[in-house]
Amino acid sequence: MKVQEGLFMVAILYFAYTQLVKGQSQPRQDCQTRCGNVAIEYPFGISSDCYYPGDDSFNITCKEDMPYVLGDIEVKKFNHSGELQVLFNRSSTCYDEQGNETISEDGNFRLDNLTLSAKNKFTVVGCNALALLFAFGMQNYSIGCISACDSLPEGNGKCNGVGCCRSDFSFPLDSYIFVTSSSRISDQAPVQTFNPCTYAFIVEDDQFNFSSSEDLWNLRNVTRFPAVLDWSIGKQTCEQVGNTSICGANSECSNSTTRNGYICICNKGFDGNPYLSHGCQDIDECASSKHNCSGTSICENTLGSFDCKCPSGSDLNATKNGCTSKERPEYFEWTQIFLGTTTGFLVILLGVSCIQQRMKHRKDTELRQKFFQQNGGGMLIQRLSGAGPSNVDVKIFTEEGMKEATNGYDESRILGQGGQGTVYKGILPDDSIVAIKKARLGDCSQVEQFINEVLVLSQINHRNVVRLLGCCLETEVPLLVYEFITSGTLFDHLHGSTFDSSLTWEHRIRIAIEVAGTLAYLHSSASIPIIHRDVKTANILLDENLTAKVADFGASRLIPMDKEQLTTMVQGTLGYLDPEYYNTGLLNEKSDVYSFGVVLMELLSGRKALCFEQPQYSKHLVSYFASATKENRLHEVIDREMMNEYNQREREIQKAARIAIECTRLMGEERPRMKEVAAELEALRDTKTKHQWSDQYLEPEGINQLLGVEILSAQGETSSTGYDSIKNVAVLDIGAGR
């Protein structure tokens, strides 16, 4: 078992090592890739980490926009197949008429890990001239060439020993320093006036054509000649390096034929730099005309190759890559007739389908326009255009946009349902999250009032009111779009299991102050007073910082400046509904005060406003809370989460309880205004006010009788009640929504 574990670790270390080697062999992304007009391609590179590591022969020096290898050998061209074209200096010796040597130049250069290619020729130009080439390294080596002539040779382009001599050479791989030298055969050899100098140089084959009239005089003033150097990667073969070679994708490793080491070659059908990880790219033979498709055949590019395709009714001739017509069988004509008939039928069917789609689209457009006008779209646009320089910023959304935002009103997007409608989580095209409320069917006569509400609510700029972003009027019932609050409702935090319900006294009194201040703002500071009419913990949202946000103004009503109350159909939630409003149908701001008092009792007790599972005496929170407060049993109804703070906060909690009792008085005129409630609650935190209210409490029996708790047998915990004062009909709509 230990041996197997050891082998496994060795395999892992070997894999990691090979990956590390491959990773180190690639150049940096910011490497310089040009020097003047010459492209510098890996494994050659300028500066460290840009050329193949461990071999300075690949290090290119860029001086005056010219690349140099090994310090002073100028590079003219790079070749991925292991060749490098460079310029070598010539070696020359000149003599005067008396035979004295006047100028002597030697061409010497160091090659390190580069080698001279067999494509080069050692050449001497001159009369009665001798040239030698010496190689110094681990093994010394030399070759020579002699050129003799007594007069100016006839003819050009021939280097046959008369005025010009050329020799092949092959040096061992460990040679790295070469020196060329030229001189006369002997001091007694005459100096020809047409040939004052002898020249020796290395030049690539076919890159020098001898001209006797010019070259014997001054070699046409050429001082450097093009030569070819061989290079390779490392000293090992492809078999020895295995998968650690630096050859990239779509390439293969090939052993060098001129020296030790290997080179990389792009696979057939690919081109580029095979030494880069993704250097070899597919050649589009069809675009570059590197294909042999002929006649009517069509070239189709494939990865690394191409195919010749023929049109329908013809076959490919593999020999000529051209197309020939197929022999049609007897049933071909019947097949054509069948296909023609089928195609015609499909075209007709497609045309009918397109006409139906256009008619449906037109019908949908007309229906959307009908709903838009029916829901007051024209009135809203008119009001917006005449709004002047106000804070009105209402966006009118399309039906299609709302469907996309709610994923087709998917059930998984439902945030809540209640008497006023269904609320969905929506995601707009800019990825912003919103709450989209789809109202229930309402009275068409309330369109103008709805438009007024949209305009007024859109102008409410209060940090504790859920902001209205816009609406959609193209649906049968209008949709309202609100900002999305992340942490659920106050009801969820007090009674639900989704959130941690451990709200401290500081959290609860701050939430109460924020809600009270918001209602006071709506009643007194808004441009047109607004009565919420459905204040409850389910309509109070909390953000990530537990900041209260009053929501759901679907039941809200605007109070004209010349009226203090309205006669409306009774609407609200049992447990929070103002008894006076329920009995008379007269709506005023004191109805919100009553509902807020119930919310405050919920914050203090942690109990639901109406719970049928409780005993008869504690089903209705208002009566139970009032009895406990009157009989000095307040500690019995205080939320257990706050009991550890009760002794320290007893005075503040009792004052908050007294405020809740005052808000839920039977007669609206005996209740305080929301301004006063907000001030009293703020004073609890500041402990500076000494304002006291009366200690008279409403009898629990009276509250129960007015609300009709003893006659309810509903399935849920909350309900909406309606009363139309014109028709004198009471409506009871039981539900557990928000």
CATH 2.10.25.10 location in the chain: 283-327
Over residues 358-391, the pLDDT tens digits come to 888 888 777 777 777 777 777 777 766 665 544 4
Over residues 225-262, the pLDDT tens digits come to 999 999 999 999 999 999 899 999 999 999 998 888 99
For the chain, what is the mean pLDDT? 79
Burial label, 352 (beta-carbon count in 10 A; 0-12, 13-18, 19+)? exposed
608: its two tokens:
């639901």
pLDDT for 572 beyond 50: yes
Q: Of 292, 296, 294, 317, give the one whose Cα is nearest residue 306.
A: 292
- The highest-confidence range among 553-567, 616-630, 721-735, by mean pLDDT, is 616-630
Partners of 69 in the β-ladder: 60, 73
CATH H-level, domain 485-734: superfamily: Transferase(Phosphotransferase) domain 1 (1.10.510.10)
| Range with lowest mean pLDDT among 214-218, 263-267, 489-493, 507-511 | 214-218
Confidence class for position 2, pLDDT limits 50, 70, 90: very low
pLDDT for 445 beyond 70: no
Residue 629, classed as helix, strand or coil, is helix
Residues 6 or more apart whose Cβ sits within 8 Å of residue 278: 248, 249
Task: Between 361 and 424, name the one with better pLDDT.
Answer: 424
Widest CA span of the chain, in angstroms? 147
d(CA 503, CA 284): 70
pLDDT of 446:
58
Confidence class for position 172, pLDDT limits 50, 70, 90: low
| Range with lowest mean pLDDT among 490-504, 510-524, 560-574 | 560-574
pLDDT of 38:
92
Region 594-612: what's the mean pLDDT? 92
d(CA 396, CA 378): 12
- Cβ–Cβ < 8 Å for 417, 538: no
CATH 3.30.200.20 location in the chain: 368-484
Residues 6 or more apart whose Cβ sits within 8 Å of residue 615: none
Confidence class for position 594, pLDDT limits 50, 70, 90: very high
Confidence class for position 142, pLDDT limits 50, 70, 90: confident
DSSP 473-538: -SSSS-EEEEE--TT-BHHHHHH-SSS-----HHHHHHHHHHHHHHHHIIIIISSS-EE-S---GG
Q: Of 490, 548, 547, 512, give the one whose Cα is nearest residue 685.
A: 512
Over residues 658-700, the pLDDT tens digits come to 999 999 999 989 999 999 999 999 998 765 434 444 343 334 4
| Range with lowest mean pLDDT among 81-85, 505-509, 615-619, 636-640 | 615-619
Over residues 325-364, the pLDDT tens digits come to 765 555 556 777 888 889 989 999 998 989 888 888 888 7
Q: Quickly name the fold that domain 283-327 has.
A: Laminin (2.10.25)
Task: Between 693 and 601, name the one with better pLDDT.
Answer: 601
CATH 1.10.510.10 location in the chain: 485-734
Residues annotated as catalytic (active site), given as ranges: 534
pLDDT of 704:
43
CATH H-level, domain 368-484: superfamily: Phosphorylase Kinase; domain 1 (3.30.200.20)
pLDDT for 728 beyond 60: no
**Identity of the amino acid at 607:** R
Q: Of 484, 27, 523, give the one whose Cα is nearest residue 246.
A: 27
Task: Between 104 and 635, name the one with better pLDDT.
Answer: 635
| Range with lowest mean pLDDT among 8-12, 30-34, 448-452, 584-588 | 8-12
Query: In this structure, how many other beta carbons lie within 10 angstroms of the beta carbon of residue 378?
Result: 13
Residue 89, classed as helix, strand or coil, is strand
| Range with lowest mean pLDDT among 89-103, 477-491, 684-698 | 684-698
- Cβ–Cβ < 8 Å for 467, 551: no
Q: Of 186, 180, 21, give the one whose Cα is nearest residue 95.
A: 186
Angle between helices 589-605 and 643-663 (to 10 degrees): 160
Q: Of 645, 642, 671, give the one whose Cα is nearest residue 658.
A: 671
